[in-house]
Every structure is written in structure tokens, then in C-alpha cells.
Amino acid sequence: MPGKLEELIEKINGSDNDKITCIIADQLLGWALEVAEKMQIKRAAFWPAAAALLALKFSIPALLDDGIINDNGTPTKNQTIQLSPTMPAISTSHLVWACIGDLTTQKIIFELNVRNNRSMQVADWLICNSTYELEPAAFSLFPNILPIANSVIYVSFGSFMVFNQIQFQELALGLEIANRPFLWVVRPDITDKNNDAYPEGFKERVATCGRMVGWAPQQKGLGHPSVACFLSHCGWNSTMVGLSNGIPFLCWPYFAYQFLNQNYICYVWKVGLRFNHDESGIIKQEEIKDKVEQLLSNKTTKARALDLKEVATKVLKKVAALTITLTILLNG
């Protein structure tokens, strides 16, 4: 099969038609990812089941080291194990490779899992058909597993906000330890003048779950179904766009009227949270992580944001109508 896939890709990429630039393969088809690596094509593994099950598969080396299973994957004794205190316990007799067929079949399935675990090391992304809200412990145990559905933090601070070096790095580290996919719109002038703006190794560590860009179309970005929350400076236009898409807020106002908008968001509409500063005026990385978790675990806040979506959408439609009217008047 690997040879046939390689031939197919060479045939397609050698033609005048669209080229194959990325391969998405089931996690059980690790060989397909290896072919993609060999051909220097981006590759993503997809796991269609629970993140806890994938975490169990990735824990095979630890299970071997602890003597829970032998080299064939067979449990050394019948016992209950738990990968994390907040994950479900499982009997060793129910390990996915140990409860199918006879011992020979179980050994084959176990070896396949071990081989696929090695193949996952060449994947650029590992996507799981689950969400952080449903399985936080599993995703925390293996941060390289990316949840699907609305889990992305959209981060944008407008055109004027300026960070000092300490605060910029705390923000970056906060996004990292929040352990969620994020899209961070970073103005080029924040980083271009200082090559050390990001914490050392940050870009490499978040390469599979975070992306920093100099600009993004905000309406399109916040309208994407994968966006879970908006970390914003609370400018009025940004606030209206976020509301019109039913997105909860993490508020980081910078100056002037933005603080009033934050109060609307947090205390009147109740569709967001504000950050607390430490004694030196810095919003620390742990505070960012905690507020992300609080916001995204609060279903009531999300429900209120969705309720306001219709109201904000009507306002934006009126603004658009006014713009058209003014354009007509100005053009005679």
C-alpha cells in the first residue's frame, strides 16, 4: 500500500492539475504519514474516537515500564488502571488490544498500535474527534492532541495596543499553557523590532496548535465555527463583531472607552470575563490560563452570547444600510 500511495501522489503532482500538499490519514494508517514525510508533504493524523483511548495507546511505554502489560501487550494481571485522577478507570482486561480475538490476534493488534505510535512522531498535526470540555484531562496529558469543534482562542488587540516585553511574554506563555489551539493576530511592529519578543522556544513548542499572523480578516475569523472565544482589547467594532457571532470574550482593554466596553461585556451583558493584574500591573500567564478555563467551561456565558448574537446582527445590518445610504448621498 505505501508504494501505491507514493505512485498515486507522484502521478497527481506530476500533472498540470491541482497538487497534493497535505495528507490527512486515520491514526491507524500510520504508514500513510510516513509516505507523506518521505515526499515532503504536510501530514495530519485524525483520531475518530475518544481522546482518552488515544491517550491510552500513547501510554503503552509507561504500561510496559510499570509491568502492567508484557511485551505482547497482554495484561500481567487483571487490575484497574487510571491514567489521570479525572479520567475514567479501565480494567486491564478491557485494553483495546487485549479484548479482541485470541492471543495471536491480540499480539498483532498490539504491534500495530506500537507501530502507529511511532508513525505519529512524523505528523505535523494530530486531530481528535473530541473537545477539551468533554475530556480536559486526556488533552492535558498529551498536549499534542488537538481537539476538534469550537476550541480555538482568537486573539486580537487592534491597531494601537502596545505591550512591554514582560507582558508580551506572559501573554505568549499563557496561551501556551492554556493548551488550546489559538490564532493570535500580532502586529508586525510588535515583533520585528525585537527578535527576542517571543519566549525562547515558544514558536517551536506551539507550532502544532498555535499560529501567529500579522493580520487576519476579523469578521471572517470570528465567524468560523471553530472559534470558542475572543481575547480582545474591547474596541467597539471588535465588540460588535464578536457579539454578532455569538462569541464569549476575554477582556483586555488598553485605554479610553475600552474599559467601558469591558464593563458592558462582563457586568451588563455577562458574556465575558476580565483579567486581574498582579501587584506590578502584569497579567500573568497563570491568570490567562485560569480565565480561559473558566470562560470555556461556563455554558451559561456561551448561551448568553448566542442570545445576543441576533441583537448584534440586527445592529450591524442597520450600520451596513446606513453606509449604503451615505454612499448614495455622497455620490449624488
**Confidence label for 294 from pLDDT (cuts 50, 70 and 90):** very high
What gap in Å lies between CA 231 and CA 229, rounded to an integer? 7
CATH class of the domain at 2-141:
alpha beta
| Tens digit of each residue's pLDDT (9 = 90 or more) over 15-40 | 888 889 999 999 889 999 999 999 99
| Tens digit of each residue's pLDDT (9 = 90 or more) over 268-280 | 999 999 999 999 9
CB atoms within 10 A of CB 168: 18
- Conformational region of residue 310, where left means phi above 0, alpha means psi within -120 to 50, and beta covers everything else: alpha
Model pLDDT, residue 272: 97
pLDDT over 80 (residue 156): yes
Position with higher pLDDT, 136 vs 89? 89
In the chain, the N- to C-terminal Cα span, in Å, equals 68
* CATH 3.40.50.2000 domain position(s) in the chain: 2-141, 150-321
| Whether the Cβ atoms of residue 155 and residue 231 lie closer than 8 Å to each other | yes
Q: Quick one: cell of 243?
A: 457579539
Model pLDDT, residue 192: 47
| Whether the Cβ atoms of residue 191 and residue 163 lie closer than 8 Å to each other | no
Model pLDDT, residue 61: 95
CATH class of the domain at 150-321:
alpha beta
Model pLDDT, residue 71: 94
